[in-house]
Amino acid sequence: MRENQLKRKLQAGAYTLGPFLNSAYAAFIEICGLAGFDFAIIDMEHGPLSVETAEDLCRAAHNTDLTPIVRVRKNDAPQIQRALDIGSGGVQVPQIETQADAEAVVRGAKYRPLGQRGLSFYTRAGDYTVFGVQGYTDKLNEEQMVIIHVEGVRGVENLDAILTVPHIDVIFLGPYDLSQSLGIPGQVRDPRVINLMKEATVKIRAAGKFVGTFADNPDIAKEWIALGVQYVALGVDVGIFARACQEWVKAVRG
């Protein structure tokens, strides 16, 4: 198991950047690393990616200094286990609303004595047993990150209880789902969304956990970084490509 450079950067107090990745083409995630991103979120919730594709994307990411994170479709122990068994740097789980939800994530993501993750060393995470198995569960418990989405009003209301759950590295505040929960879908710059996220950021940092969120563009990313957000999902690969295409066509055609 590789040392998790993303986790080390966060622990050192640095902010980190990475896009969501919907594309199956391995070169895209490799380019993200070469371009200087710290991580990429392989999106199995909204993206059309299979587990086999996600595993190959993890391999491509590890050709660079990029840490691959896998977002699963829901808070489900088998999905969490598979996201980690393919050798990712961590799992990202959506729609966490209660302390019980957060505890379930940890149970699925961590080996005993921290959780109840199913055990097989014949995986990419276990290096297929090539280097033996001694100490691997402790090493994977330490290196593979647990990231949870708090992205609805109910989750924000239960944030104090969620923050009591140990072994969660990042609380990711999802502005789009939060806007939908508030009845203003897509209005992520509305003061009601921003104020709730700011209040949550203060609480999360005070609890000693890292804060994450999504930013549509670099200016928004800088705003959240200034407020102490260290895990910034900056754009989505297909959106970045779409904007670049639009700009190039406009530059030629006017």
Active site residues: 46
Residue 65, helix vs strand vs coil: coil
10 to 13, 17, 69, 188: CA distances (angstroms):
5, 11, 14, 25
State in Å, rounded, how far the first CA of the chain is from the last one.
Answer: 50
DSSP-assigned beta bridge partners for residue 145: 90
- Cα separation, 23 vs 14, whole angstroms: 27
- Cα separation, 10 vs 25, whole angstroms: 28
237 to 47, 134, 193: CA distances (angstroms):
11, 38, 24
What is the per-residue DSSP string for 143-162? HSEEEEEE-SHHHHHTHHHH
- Cα separation, 68 vs 21, whole angstroms: 10
Give the Cβ contact number of residue 160 at 10 Å. 11
Query: What angle is formed at CA 18 by the lines to CA 191 and CA 34, rounded to 5 degrees?
Result: 150
Retrieve residue 172's tokens. 């990711």
Q: Where are the alpha helices (DSSP H) in 75-217?
A: 77-85, 99-109, 136-143, 153-157, 159-162, 175-181, 191-206
Retrieve residue 254's tokens. 């006017």
